[in-house]
Amino acid sequence: MAAAGLRRSVRGAACRQLLLTLVIFSLAGEACKKVILNVPSKLEADKIIGRVNLEECFRSADLIQSSDPDFRVLSDGSVYTARAVVLSDEKRSFTIRLSDKRKQTQKEVTVLLEHQKKVLKTRHTRETVLRRAKRRWAPIPCSMQENSLGPFPLFLQQVESDAAQNYTVFYSISGRGVDQEPLNLFYIERDTGNLFCTQPVDREEYDVFDLIAYASTADGYSADLPLPLPIRVEDENDNHPVFTEAIYNFEVSESSRLGTTVGVVCATDRDEPDTMHTRLKYSILQQTPRSPGLFSVHPSTGVITTVSHYLDREVVDKYSLIMKVQDMDGQFFGLIGTSTCIITVTDSNDNAPTFRQNAYEAFVEENAFNVEILRIPVEDKDLINTANWRVNFTILKGNENGHFKISTDKETNEGVLCVVKPLNYEENHQVNLEIGVNNEAPFTRDIPRVTALNRALVTVHVRDLDEGPECTPAAQYVRIKENLAVGSKINGYKAYDPETRNGNGLRYKKLHDPKGWITIDEISGSIITSKILDREVETPKNELYNITVLAIDKDNRSCTGTLAVDIEDVNDNPPEILQEYVVICKPKMGYTDILAVDPDEPVHGAPFYFSLPNTSPEISRLWSLTKVNDTAARLSYQKNAGFQEYTIPITVKDRAGQAATKLLRVNLCECTHPAQCRVTSRSAGVVLGKWAILAILLGIALLFSVLLTLVCGVLGATKGKRFPEDLAQQNLIISNTEAPGDDRVCSANGFMTQTANNSSQGFCGTMGSGMKNGGQETIEMMKGGNQTLESCRGAGHHHTLDSCRGGHTEVDNCRYTYSEWHSFTQPRLGEESIRGHTG
């Protein structure tokens, strides 16, 4: 089959619309005479049929009218049908009147409507048809009117196939509206290809139908490829614009300036976007209360603003606006929607609080305090219980002494005036106060903060009372020299009667005296010293000595006061050295610092002068004093000073010449730290401590042990046994004999003797040793040359007696009797006792 496509012929009334042609005569003289518009014979309502260039005819026209009510003309020259029109004749005309009211001129434009009847040519079956050289795939646009009134079925267009010239072709369609929802909206005649619509269509539900047309032969052969048939639904202005909310609620401050934005209203329209059907314009239909007009709305954006500064919440606190929105750009034939807008005027502090009267009076008894004497009401038109209504009161004048305080009662908004400090009738019979008031929130209008209306005068009258004595001031001061003689009389505390302003008839008593140093004269109140006043006894020394005094009048009314006694210092104390005993480690420490203090005032104290008074030549030769600062001196020793304890007298003198001498005990010791030193046995006046007593007891026990050892030695001598020769050091002599030795056990009285390796050592009691040589029982001690037992020990080493003999020195030359042994041990026991006490 030849490459021929389906073609459509527009034959229906809805698809036979021709393009509108506007012809305006170009000649200047004929510009306002005639305009020809080519239109169909049937015109639907609210449809544009053309446009007239009104500016060329009459540029300054401000009134446009149509002579034919079936047509209306907009300001831009667009011509719309007011209702459905059928042109029975081929021509119809009407006039557009253009007027300028200011110039009182008018022009007319004649509009001629023409329509042509198009006769569709029917093809005879035997007529030769010219075929296209190329198939037309793009369909001719087709549309149908939304909500069409019919008649139904409504013919839309005819679909033809070029193959129908040679074959019998049958037509069919598919798509939404045919075999898809909505079903059976469209159908096509099988033999002719005529396309029909069966019922009205809502564009807001279906705006376009994409159908597919098919052409096939009787035997089912596809004569052509499927042809797309888009059916567009033309919009009709059938939907009213609708506000997004039925009721809008906005707030605006009463102090808002002109042009303040109140809120925005918004509407929607379901008709086709970007057409006149959805071009909306906003306006205000009604305001309640009606006058004055305070608000306006932008016609395009819906923004509501203020157009007046006369908003006053105290007059009108709420406005109601009926809002209108109209499509067709607000033309009178456009569809309308309405909504309500409630605008609440919020409060601003534009009203100053005012006193109800300009002057007030109040009464109060003298000496009363923390009492309410007056309540001051105010008026404020602003919103109650807000910061614009609540007030703060201030005492502007008359409260320089702080007797009054004014506060606000949060419930009633009244000013509460109170006396917080007692008033004295004798000092002032009345007090004049000036009270000011303002709001918590700042003012929003240009009004003065303090005017004649927000100030008030308050006169406070003080009532006289018969009062007791007054102790004023509460603390009175007196100065007394230290060490003043007993019985000295000094001015004391003075009270007075507020009625007579003197102290006649008052009696005085002492309530409290820390040291009992003074007594009080009952009539005059003078104080009398009963003891010597010592400033250095009072702690702390630099504080006042306070005495509590009671003043009593004839009616036994009383008051109390404090007499603060400032004890004036005298130089009655010399400086005192703090140290009693010091240790100097030689040679690590070359000196020690001596400190002194003076309990007197600094004027009687430092700088101190240290010196060594006339002392022994030895002290003067070995020791010296040098100044360190105003309160310290340095005690230094010479290199040839020996290790011992020295008693050094040191004299210290203050700046006024008061001096004292102190005997300082200085222990010059061979040590690395003073804690390692102990007082030597040469120190006088040693006081025995618990450790010294224990050492003495141990020494006595040692003597008993020596006696027991002697007895054990005598018993051992009868049997030829020998004690080792190094018992003084309590060391065993190494034996080279490997044979077992004899063991001897003492009798049940506690004595025991043991021998081992031909060397015997006895353990009887706690300590003791004996040696036998040539049958003579003695107690032996080494004495080799100038060496003693102590020198044989060495520093941290352990020796036997044999090691101390030095070669072949005979033991007999080193022997001492028991009395010599006793003389050797006793001093050392005493030294250990003293060291134990010092430690």
225-240 pLDDT, tens digit per residue, is 888 899 999 999 999 9
Specify the pLDDT at position 370.
93
- Higher pLDDT: 496 or 15? It is 496
Residue spans of the domains in the chain: they are: 35-115, 142-234, 242-346, 354-444+451-463, 475-568, 576-676
Rounded to the nearest 10 degrees, the angle between the axes of helix 818-838 and helix 690-717 is 160
Task: Give percent helix, percent strand, percent coil of the chain, each to the nearest 5.
Answer: 10, 35, 50
768-783 pLDDT, tens digit per residue, is 333 333 333 333 333 3
Distances (CA, A) of 823 to 612, 699, 817, 819: 41, 13, 10, 6
- Does 170 have pLDDT greater than 80? yes
How sure is the predictor about 728, in pLDDT bands with cuts at 50, 70 and 90?
very low
- Higher pLDDT: 713 or 283? It is 283
Hey, what's the torsion of the CAs at 415, 418, 424, 429, to 10 degrees?
20
Write down the residue that tokens 């203050």 correspond to. Answer: 654
Domains 242-346 and 354-444+451-463 share a fold: yes
Specify the pLDDT at position 1.
34
Q: Residue 216: name the closest of 175, 186, 174, 172 by CA.
A: 172
Write down the residue that tokens 């042994």 correspond to. Answer: 821
Q: Indicate the length of the chain as a whole number.
A: 839
Give CATH for domain 242-346. 2.60.40.60
Which of 17-21, 79-83, 371-375 is predicted with the least confidence, judged by mean pLDDT? 17-21
- Higher pLDDT: 500 or 757? It is 500
Give the best-scoring range by mean pLDDT among 319-333, 623-637, 770-784.
Answer: 319-333
Query: What is the rounded CA–CA span in Å between residue 474 and residue 550?
Result: 11
- Does 150 have pLDDT greater than 60? yes
- Does 807 have pLDDT greater than 70? no
CATH architecture of the domain formed by 354-444+451-463: Sandwich (2.60)
Angle at 170 between CA 212 and CA 191, to 5 degrees: 110
- Does 755 have pLDDT greater than 70? no
Q: Which is it for the CA torsion 234, 237, 238, 243, positive or negative?
A: positive
Distances (CA, A) of 666 to 582, 593, 629: 5, 12, 21
**pTM of this prediction exceeds 0.75:** no
Proportion of the chain above pLDDT 90, given as a percent: 26
CATH class for domain 576-676? Answer: mainly beta
Q: What is the mean pLDDT of the chain?
A: 75
How sure is the predictor about 32, in pLDDT bands with cuts at 50, 70 and 90?
confident
- Does 752 have pLDDT greater than 80? no
Which of 49-63, 228-242, 306-320 is predicted with the least confidence, judged by mean pLDDT? 49-63
Out of 1.10.10, 2.60.40, 1.10.287, 3.40.50, which CATH number does the structure's domain 35-115 have? 2.60.40
Out of 3.40.430.10, 2.60.40.60, 3.30.1300.10, 3.40.640.10, which CATH number does the structure's domain 475-568 have? 2.60.40.60
Specify the pLDDT at position 4.
37
Specify the pLDDT at position 541.
54
Mean pLDDT in residue range 85-111: 83
Query: What is the rounded CA–CA span in Å between residue 739 and residue 195?
Result: 149
Mean pLDDT in residue range 413-428: 90
Mean pLDDT in residue range 82-94: 79
Give the count of beta carbons closer than 10 Å to the beta carbon of residue 812. Answer: 11
Query: What is the rounded CA–CA span in Å between residue 322 and residue 312?
Result: 21
How sure is the predictor about 473, in pLDDT bands with cuts at 50, 70 and 90?
confident
Domain 142-234 listed as CATH 3.40.50.1000:
no
Mean pLDDT in residue range 286-312: 90
Mean pLDDT in residue range 295-308: 94
String of DSSP letters for 445-482: SS--SS-GGGEEEEEEEEEP-----B--SSEEEEEEET
Which of 178-187, 402-411, 457-466 is predicted with the least confidence, judged by mean pLDDT? 457-466
- Beta strand pairing call for 169-174 and 105-114: unpaired
Proportion of the chain above pLDDT 70, given as a percent: 74
Specify the pLDDT at position 283.
95
Q: Residue 36: name the closest of 113, 89, 90, 88 by CA.
A: 113
Query: What is the rounded CA–CA span in Å between residue 666 and residue 684?
Result: 13
| DSSP H or E stretch at residue 157 | strand 154-161
How sure is the predictor about 90, in pLDDT bands with cuts at 50, 70 and 90?
low
Q: Residue 659: name the closest of 604, 741, 603 by CA.
A: 604
